[in-house]
Structure 1
């Protein structure tokens, strides 16, 4: 049984062929049954059916190759690696010992996300605390770890003197597996901390600063952020944002050139006249439509009737009050709160959660503004305002 796997490292970093001791070049063969050290063969030795010690020619094998696309269908992984190696060897290290006075053009990375050395400290079980995945800044740890039950596999292991060699080796293997799971847990923590992902809202706000096209690139390249680190990743994204702005400016200048404009002063006049022309065209179109109906009395009457009926056609019917019968949490509400939930069409459980979040934030800050309430409650702003006004009126919270 064979299958194709990927292996894109430098061939001089791999063991040589077991048959002829030559350096391996892709594609080459890896035995899937011999181990733990990899048993590698070049294609020539594999076709001859080379066998060595425990390795047999009928063993299952893998074809190690990087002839598959990563980002673009027309580019293979091997070509991507060759391109990166060429860039690394030919280009100098960017932004090293470079000052703004040393060059005329310098990109300033204003959207760099610093490491979260001092993340926000929200109240336990608040909306922000849930957004931060239960992160506890005072302990620099999470309430629930990645692979949270990894320790369960070790809780019953005990090394005793009368263990057999096989049992002792099995226990050591379990400990090694546990160590690898701990390393993965720490690796994920480091990625979250280095890239500032703990403060999720700040990260999302910075992401929205980019144009839509750059945001799409940002989403596509996010999976590679762990490879290069936060500063290099931000430089990469920011440089593409600058490239997008330059391309848009080039297209604008090309449009000016097609229109025969050769100076920026003329371009300003061209833009202003173009806006006036477009406004006049819209007005002229509306006037022509009206004049067309005025010339025919019957058509004019029909057109006026249609215009008068437009507001009623697009008028939204108000939704009926919400029926609270049988909904969880209804028994915890007083009559005024039930009326609010019916009018706002909010289930009692959600109202109680929002109410508690606003009360906690109000106690912590000594008052609460409407803008702060909207930041805590991610629902319709009109509903948030009604809940906020109700809690103010009933004396549950106070204005800041």
Structure 2
């Protein structure tokens, strides 16, 4: 086999620099030869062999073993730092160009032999804090014997091979939970709400102009309007501060706390929530904790009185009594449910309409030839005490949702759409509300009447 070496040119050096960070595999055995010496054919385009295949004289396709070749080796000598080789410097710069400065985790993965902190510290020390900024110090010299350089290269390659990749954080499964924007129209990026308190306050002062020809009475009137506007802004800021300080926007946290409370505790908290407006956050928490403690004490006293009434004198006997009581109640519920199911199975079917005469009909009190009006029984109120978003509704709104059998989340969406349409049009008719909300027209009408009575919507029908 004829071995010849052609002279390296500037284009070859530039090509080697451009190829830093590229993965190489032997075209014969497909072995990864990125971090070791490889043999590149000088005639065939993009053809590399490992040392073993080259020594065996492997020929593939158009490549012949007598072709000229070049020995390609990683540049492991240091140029700016003894712990960093020239090839690592090239990979660092290439990673910074590809992923951007600051994305050190991806840059470290690109370098391969350095950690995230090492890449960041080296870049800041060599390139950013350099005395010859914006260029690094190009006059450094390192005297390293070939054996030390080879040992260092083997160490670096071993580190690259044995490096443990960064653990991938497990992502939580996506859940359909309402965000702050969906519940209350809150925009976290702007620290504002879509519909603020006194949302139309700016309409009065937006066109106000003070001129030199204004009379004293006109100036006083304008100042009075500005004072009223400032008072509205102060109230708006107070309400916003109240919402932020009480943490009402932290939906998930509040929901987890609510789930841990019992039904009686939630009833007490909902009944005294109105007092939060006249108390500080700490005072209100102490007030609620005191009420809950009082409730627990009353329950414990009633439990002890029940023990005494049944002749129990020790706490151990009382606990045994409670367990037996719970067991008896469970058995009684099962017995009642089985009895009801048996009665339903044994019940006689109602007589057919063909066997019923006019006097035995369900409308027996109605004379022959006349029909009685069919009275529809109203549906039972919906229990929404444990529903999502119940804490965002006032007591009248909770009663409305329970009567109309609408969940709080759906009600908040309906409320948002109606108020937006009212703000856009300056008024809202009942017909427009029914066309906007595609639910039962009777429910929409009752919601519309509730908003009119509350002063949230101006009735345009009048």
Q: Which has the larger radius of gyration?
A: 2
**What TM-score, normalized by structure 1, do the two folds share?**
0.37
Structure number with the bigger relative contact order (C-alpha 8 A, sep ≥ 6) is 1
**What TM-score, normalized by structure 2, do the two folds share?**
0.33
